[in-house]
Chains A and B, each alone.
Chain A
Amino acid sequence: MENIKKNPLSLQLNAEDFLPASNEEKQSLVVMRESVNFWKDGIRRLKKNKIAMVSFVFIIAIAIFAYLLPAVWPYSYSEQMKGSNNLKPFEYSASEQARIDAGEKVFPHILGTDRMGRDFAVRIMMGTRVSLSVGLIASVLVLIIGATYGAVAAFAGGWVDNIMMRITDILYTIPDILLIILLGMALKDPLDALATKPGFKWMQTLGPNMISIFIIFALLYWVGMARIVRSQILILKESEYVTAARALGASSGRIIKKHLLTNCIGTLIVTTTLQIPASIFTESYLSFIGLGVAAPLPSLGSLATDAVKGMNTYPHLLIAPALMISVMILVFNLFGDGLRDAFDPKLKN
């Protein structure tokens, strides 16, 4: 055949090439990719996201700053040092200067001190701790209440679902700031009273305001979560693999546990993470208007309020907590976005 002779390849051909290939030889060509499960795949995607990873490092740093650093800091957040009022950053009071002159080492007030002579750096740390804790606990509360409510509504369906979702609609329409202020006021007295009763002493250290913040979150902020979870479950409930499980005779409990929850978990994690900055912001805001945590426990919001009065003379006292709030909210949002891209690409749009 002419055609073959023209072909340069044909020169190298010999009869052996045309022997049948064995099954093993054929199969060796079929390579299966490395097994990846949902988590591994998500974490791989998250690691590739530079912004999310930088945010994550910031979150770790903030956590260390808030939870570990105060323990080794030479000053305590409530310790009032006489004569050290309103020091500028890295400034020493007269007595401290004297000790330095005597050859002693005195730890500098990196951010100076406040009006009452307390080291401001450690107060920022404590404030961050309070804000972060409130953010985390409130988000978990929102997660528990919202997810349960949404899941029950979706799973029950019919008129139960209808009534439950109308309730969330009503809650959604209430202006939340107004309600927070009203609730904050209304809850103050009963909670104060409760805190004096035996068995509720722990409330005093936390402050009744803190408790009312949690109550407010629990009452109001789960609505969004409930809606997201409900819509997710509604879709999953109709999926064919759930029908398949029903055809196998699976009970409702089994379907919820094995299929619905496991498939929602990505959404839950992402929504909860994105709830944290919202909670931090609300807490700071409440503290700023005086409805937040009780003194002497500082929160970033109350630190900012205190600083407003001397804003012109001591601007760093205002800038430091404000900056901290902004950075926290920013990194949690960025990290949450990264999580969403990694674990729940569907939510993006």
Chain B
Amino acid sequence: MSEKILDIKDERLSFFTPAGEVKALNGVSFTMNQGDVLGVVGESGSGKSVTAYSIMGLTAYPGKLVGGKVWFNGHEIENMKEKDFRKIRGNEVSIIFQDPMTSLNPVYTIGNQIVEVIRLHTDKNKADAWARAKELLELVGINEPEKRLKQYPHELSGGMRQRVMIAIALACEPKLLIADEPTTALDVTIQAQILELMQDLRKKLGMSIIMITHDLGVVASMCEKIAVMYAGHIVEYGTTDEIFYQPGHEYTKGLINSIPKLNTAEHERLVPIEGTPVDLLNPPAGCPFAPRCKNCMKICLSKMPPRTELSDTHYTYCWLQQKAAFEKGEKAE
């Protein structure tokens, strides 16, 4: 077994808005080992980005960690100050954002921006840093790196900018790379390029990746393990095959069923999840998915389901799984 790199235990995080406390994370727990690629899937507002950002201490005001423990590569995140975060950001953990245009500074050249990151975290001199920047651009598959280094972000296309962002993120060979919807803003053909690149880089550099996305297609090809999030809970966690072929939570099932299939001759009606996402200002007392669940039971409305282990690598929080276990147990007795 490779060594543990990330251990989140019962993380709770809230945004204190004027309208009230928005409970963004309600007890999130998972661990990652060095070299793992974890997909975090969920709808907007499910807390998938917030989870990842909190590892880097990027929770924006008025967000606050209100409980739990976050351990990353020897650091206790919950006790860290901004100053301490600055040391690990870009160095041990870095992030790629959804929109590469807004995350690059338009008034500096690509080269300047990469060199700045390199020099911030290493004691390389300018020439060495520049050489390293060139190397990085080559690594992420950019032709004519010399020329590109001297260009400004607006002179590059969306796909190229995302490659530059990846180069910056990899500048100090982080242990963990957080990719927050890295291909959502890109076209399908460019998305394919970037995903291919990320897989290559992972093989070459061996870092861990947290891939945040709403697209099940992206995680299917990229990730080994998947965490499905809903309303600030990880409702199911397992290997990619377990999640896709033996989903244990009603939400995961619904999510998989609602995707239109490409290669079918007959017209099959889509199976949507009815209802609307939960209001995190007034989350329900029981399972957050209960109001939209087809097989909702009485207990779901009042009590949060406990964890059910479906295999060593697969667990879910759903009363239906408990029900199955309960009935089995009753028979056994």
Contacts and interface: CB of A to CB of B under 8 A. Distances in A.
B329 A4 contact: yes
B298 A21 contact: yes
Contact of B275 (A13, A30, A45): A30
A81 to B, nearest CB: 56
A30 B308 CA distance: 26
Contact of B326 (A4, A21, A27, A33): A4
Contacts of A31: 279, 282
A48 to B, nearest CB: 7
Contact of B325 (A1, A16, A33, A48): A1
Interface in A41-72: 45, 48
A20 interface: yes
A3 interface: yes
Given A9-B303, A21-B290, A48-B18, A3 B325 contact: yes
Interface in B299-314: 299-301, 303, 306, 308-309
Interface residues of A, number: 24
A84 to B, nearest CB: 56
Interface string B258-291: 0000000000000000011001011010100011
Contact of B323 (A18, A21, A27, A33): A18
Contacts of A13: 299, 322, 326
A21 B301 contact: yes
- Interface range on chain B (Cβ under 8 Å from partner): 20 to 34
A25 B329 contact: no
B251 interface: no
Interface string A6-45: 0101100101111111000111011101000000000001
A348 interface: no
A17 B276 contact: no
A27 B279 contact: no
Contacts of B297: 17-21
A26 B322 contact: no
A21 B58 CA distance: 40
Nearest to A27: B291
A5 interface: yes
A1 to B, nearest CB: 4
A1 B301 CA distance: 24
Contact of A30 (B291, B298, B300, B329): B291
B125 interface: no
Contact of A18 (B18, B276, B286, B319): B319
B298 A19 contact: yes
A7 B306 contact: yes
Given A1-B329, A33-B281, A18 B299 contact: yes
B143 interface: no
Interface string B322-333: 110110110000
B79 interface: no
A29 B284 contact: yes
A3 B309 contact: yes
B325 A17 contact: no
A342 B325 CA distance: 54
Nearest to A36: B19
B279 A26 contact: no
Contacts of A26: 290-293, 296, 301
Contacts of B282: 31, 33
27 contacts: A1-B328, A1-B329, A3-B308, A4-B322, A4-B326, A4-B329, A9-B303, A10-B322, A13-B322, A13-B326, A15-B326, A17-B297, A17-B298, A18-B298, A18-B323, A20-B297, A20-B298, A21-B290, A21-B296, A21-B297, A21-B301, A25-B301, A26-B301, A27-B291, A29-B291, A31-B279, A33-B282
Given A18-B323, A21-B301, A26-B291, 13 more contacts: A5-B329, A10-B326, A17-B298, A17-B299, A18-B297, A18-B299, A18-B319, A21-B296, A21-B297, A26-B290, A26-B296, A33-B281, A48-B18
3 pairs of A and B residues whose beta carbons are closest in the complex: A17-B299, A29-B284, A1-B325
